[in-house]
Amino acid sequence: MSYRYLEREELKYTFLLCSIMDHDAAIEDLLKYCRGLGLFHGLDTMEKVRNRVLTLVNELRDSSLLLAGSTSESFDMHDVVRDVAIAIASRERRWLALGKEDVFEEWKDTMRNSHLVSLKYAKVSQLPDELECPNLTFFFMHGFVEVPNNFFKGMQRLNVLEFDGTNFTTLPSSLGFLKTLCTLRLIDCGLKDIVIFGELENLEILDLRYSGIEMLPLSKLEELYLYDSFDGWEIEGIENPRSKASLMELHHLPRLATLEVHIPDVEAIPKDNLFLGKMERFKISIGYEKWDSYFDREMKTPRMLKLEINKSIDLVEGIYKLLS
């Protein structure tokens, strides 16, 4: 089937989003983009959005515009189809997805009028101190490059922001201008001070995998991914200055519905229990052993809890709440 035969706008938009993602891309990552961009109006829970995304991916597979991925949780796209999709997105949507041969400096003027920018593969030696992009809703950057302090000041309509492999000494203060930001992904980024996250009033999805963190000053968060990011949780009762993230901070995330976290030391779990309510999806391991990578990849259940502890602690009530 050709793109022009796709009748629904959400199906067209989802297909074009798939074209800027990697081979064997995770459906969960597509979900984070769709939710952040507000693609599905009227869906009030993450689980409803997730089901809609799965339906759309299956429709695109049935239309042969997408290919099956290595698992049921991923998808792929033929290179020829991808090139055509990126050309359509550039022409009809003002999307800019630069390739390996593209040099960022040659595209700055085009970027100013773009709605979506992906610099996943582009050659970027330096970012400008400030870039006025009043229509930009999606920005993705891969690789080690210094991000100037005022870089986001002219991107105040941004809904989705992703950096991969960027070592932030400190997060740019202009991040606080992004009042409409819904999805923030900082993958494999060296993070220290993330207090500025508290200024992101509409942030719903935060993905910090493979990145270090210290605090979680967020209240509207619905999805939090920390599994391969951080496990040095502060232990209650030790009298020393606060220097690490505490699991107590999860108590202040009342809308949290999805959590991925590893807790090596069971004593880091708050005395009044970590599991305050029922979550729709979670991957939690308590103890020094994480999930086996093969088992993790093959398991299809959205709710996974692994316990390997040798200390006496009462988790029965909390686990019952979590699993009921």
Question: Of the candidates 262, 275, 288, 285, which has an alpha carbon nearest to the alpha carbon of residue 314?
Answer: 275
Rounded to the nearest integer, the mean pLDDT of the chain is 83
Cβ atoms of 216 and 246 within 8 Å: the answer is no
Q: Is the pLDDT of residue 296 over 70?
A: no
pLDDT band at residue 294, thresholds of 50, 70 and 90?
A: very low
Q: What is the mean pLDDT of residues 217-243?
A: 62
CA–CA distance, 232 with 111 (Å, rounded to integer): 40
What mean pLDDT is predicted for residues 37-42?
A: 91
pLDDT of residue 297: 53
pTM of the model: 0.79
Q: Greater confidence, 215 or 260?
A: 260
Report the alpha-carbon distance of residue 98 to residue 121 in Å, rounded. 6
pLDDT of residue 42: 86
Domains and CATH numbers, the chain: 1-93 (1.10.10.10), 94-206 (3.80.10.10), 231-324 (no CATH)
How big is the CA angle at 74 (ends 69 and 80), to the nearest 5 degrees? Answer: 55
